[in-house]
Amino acid sequence: MKPTTSHSSPLTSRYAALVIFAKAPVPGQVKTRLCPPLTPDEAATLHGSFVIDTLERTQLAATKLKLPFDRYLACAPSFTHVFFKIMEERHGVKVIDQVGDDLGVRMNQAFDVLFKKGYRQVLIIGTDVPTLPLDLFKQTLTLLDSHDLVLGPALDGGYYLIGLKRMAPELFADIPWSTDQVLNRTQEKAVTLGLKPALLEPWRDVDRLEDLQALIEANSADSKKPKNDRTFSSRTAGVLETLAKRLRSRA
């Protein structure tokens, strides 16, 4: 049955969609700004662990906080890639393709697909924020009740999350993606379009070497906590510990 906006529909309790934008962890095609000092294989391993982290943490947010969203994995180059078929099976996430020549086109297309399915709120996140607090998902859904647009500012001038409750194609046009102007230009466009925006807490995503180094330090501090209180998955913690040793040896 397709989701609809009717209050008597299945979306009465699950009216939002959370879309995770992800690339397949192919060496040489992901986390390229970390290479060097990382090798393409190391960067791909790190990225793959981040994707799994995001799937696990969004599932935890949905169950622990009882958040009414369905999860979608927007895949590049294609949801038919074996990695994404495994993610679909293991993590119970719906898969769709990313379609478009740049990030803005791809995000706008994903919003279009999900709003046409009948969802009243749609969120998009990347996979570069493995320590993002689960409560920020709840905050986003709450803010969208009284705002048109929610943005999660990244420390590098972009955003790690965007939420909308209606289509706004102009929001994604003529944006200098992968620059420190993304958030500012998006906010300016929101004002021009008459959208009521809200901002979440700024958070660090992992694109540059300094981001990776900060994450390694955070993981080191996290490892000293009791196991049940740790933020990092044991998988990503292991990857970061290995990378830290290799980076020290290369320095």
Third-level CATH fold of 14-205: Spore Coat Polysaccharide Biosynthesis Protein SpsA; Chain A (3.90.550)
Nearest C-alpha neighbor of 166 from the set 147, 153, 191, 187: 147
pLDDT for 14 = 60
pTM value?
Answer: 0.92
Q: What angle do CA 63, 167, 80 make, to 5 degrees?
A: 60
pLDDT for 251 = 79
d(CA 145, CA 163): 11
d(CA 49, CA 64): 22
d(CA 210, CA 165): 34
- Which of the pair, 250 or 9, is modelled with greater confidence? 250
Check if the beta carbon of residue 140 is closer than 8 Å to that of residue 150.
yes
Within 8 A by CB and 6+ apart from 218, the residues are: 131, 231, 232
pLDDT digits (tens, 9 = 90+) for 159-204: 999 999 999 999 999 999 999 999 999 999 999 999 999 999 999 9
The pair of structure tokens assigned to 157 is 């001038």
pLDDT for 142 = 96
Tokens 């090798």 sit on residue:
39
pLDDT digits (tens, 9 = 90+) for 212-244: 999 999 999 999 999 999 999 999 999 999 999
pLDDT digits (tens, 9 = 90+) for 40-66: 999 999 999 999 999 999 999 999 999
